[in-house]
Structure 1
């Protein structure tokens, strides 16, 4: 046990909540995770983790076996003896782009009378500036401080990011409460930044906006490289060595998406408008992402047209649908955004993704989902790589070529080996990279 083992309740068992609960239990705290989904709670009690997240299943099992981690469907009762309560609840994009705080507000109403005096409530979800104050008002408890402690977790490496953080940001006005939450992380080697709740809330939005901006820059840079005959991988390698820039988030692709960046950039833009602040760079970052996806579809249409085919009626093999490799998450996936644009222009889509199956994922209104990439390639006029799964690089491309009707593979992710595709008799069209034609 750590020197300061706490009784912690985590409300919500999504990526953030389950990772937070399992990791805090691994640090020696006594954790109860609460969720309104009875089926999910029952599965978690059996140690069954549906999320595709490295090491999370093992941490949940260890926590259960060691008696440090438990799951319940009764959120109100769970907080009866809690010292710290984390709110890890969905804050999806609502009307007009603002964050929808309905789940946060509902839970605050459920627990307000059950919280013990001196318990600390912590917003872990990504929430707009002023949410800690809003939650405190909903609780109506002067003896229960409310803090903001935003997460900085990446899907596919959430456990690693929690246990090896770059920084821990805790915002609020109660020094003792700040000390208590900081103490939960005492075993971790990371700087702890204490600030006002508004600072912590805005820091998360600002970080996600900056990352989205960097990705939009990389995608536009790739388009420029196509126009002038430069190689975007060489250009980004050169600028990424500058410590003021860094190499992360400079890899182009079919646009940015996922569960965080789209909703958070729109929420920040809505907040700017509400505050009367013009932030043209933020608006341009969002608009550039949408325009980039249209550009990719235009490129595919132009290549088909050059070969005497129309995008309308063309059969396309799509490799990858999740928003990034290593996850089964389809939320705001740029791959799906591109697929919808292709479908709207009349293309017939057949897709394969290592994390998805037709039995568990219904996309029948958009495309046909198959298990084998070779089946997706059967009769395809072109192939498009939309998620950076390493499995696609290792495919038998000679076999894929034998099933395709066309000879073109579009790879905006930069996953594939150009020489290998050339040997297979296929023309590789990357993004911001010199085209490699058949040998």
Structure 2
């Protein structure tokens, strides 16, 4: 049986007794939350660089790169309904901490397999699936912690800062992973083990402002309630599905090992820098949105960001120069972060607290589908047409999706507030 959820600490603390601060960054609970997300995301990004370079060095196959994304997506898809219910039923901090320790264990197996020389492609797919299963539980548990850490009126700003944690990690993680892999894959896996373990310890120390709502009974209706809620909310459904299909078709990052090695003619360090570029642009965008939140017409801003994302994806596909490719990837990150912040804010501000875990799980499925399944789609189309053609087609398809969604979800295009 999973452990019973711990009650919130009844004793007053700086996070509970003080008046709401003007910035979430001044809240000790949010600081721990932010650091835990950075550590976990840095570890995952370093591991992604190591896996991508390792599998391409073994196979020299675009299909193999796509299969890594598919291996991570399958457990996420299969566990979606279960993980949301777990996040609402048990202590979200404990669930996230256990998942991060399991990810540390997977990185340890990568380390041992590399030292022993038995880390083959099928075993890499198996370990990637294990990491995907752990992150399937971790993601909704971490996401649904935020409303219990900061006041409701600070959620849009806190969401932007929380997104910046991921973007900062996506800058540091791939670059650090590329540099460490240049030293040797063993160095990457040791760093991943340490960072995942530190994230687990950090998330365990977060103090919540409010007690997690009563555990829902495990009924078929409650398990599917997250999906039912999203279907009733056309604005939320439109935002989630727009982000899903935009990133699904515009997933150029899965092909970066090919671009780094065969088109831009650089090594593991160049791959790390290329993987960091979208996060660098996204970090700049999240800092801007944290200081100037989207309060008016967030839906229109989201559509504009997706169209811009598709356009700069086309630029990246046409580029033969390393610096231009870096600039295009940075612009992709800045454009994408608009839809990320709008989507997360809509989910957290329009979802009741007692079912936030289940809705966040569906949100995580959409994210995983767009990222991991998008990697598989990119690898497949690159195997058919070549990497450059796959990116160009994906960028054009992203623009087409945005224009189509403006007609399918006019409520999202016209929405004037993040709150209902």
Q: What is the TM-score with the length of structure 1 in the denominator?
A: 0.22
Which protein has the larger Cα radius of gyration, Structure 1 or Structure 2? 1
- Greater fraction of residues in strand: 1
- TM-score w.r.t. structure 2 length? 0.23
